[in-house]
Amino acid sequence: MDIRERVLRATNITEFQRRVYLALLDIPSGETTSYGQLAQRIGCKSAQAVGQALKRNPFAPDVPCHRVIASDGSIGGYFGKRGGEEIERKRQLLQQEQILKQ
């Protein structure tokens, strides 16, 4: 079963999370979006709500929440953290996709 189908069938996520994760699957490898842009894409006015959904992403990295960055172009958070191992993992994933220079 592909990742889109897994998200569609998941019973352990809210409908809002499902909308966020499905929209995120449309962001191609090598590209990023901001929390605000992703919120707009799904008709939500809250970038923070999108961030909370991504913090709880049970499908990462298959649902690539690492492709979501802050509106100022900074790396933002990852799994609710702004430093440490989580941010280093996000940095590595972005480098693998050649979004960030090594």
Residue positions annotated with a catalytic role: 65
Q: Which residue's structure tokens are 């995120």?
A: 24
Non-local CB neighbours of 59 within 8 Å, separated by 6+ positions: 3, 6, 7, 10, 21
Residue 13: CB atoms within 10 Å: 17
CA distance 24 to 32: 10
Q: How far apart, in Å, do the first and last CA atoms of the chain sit?
A: 34
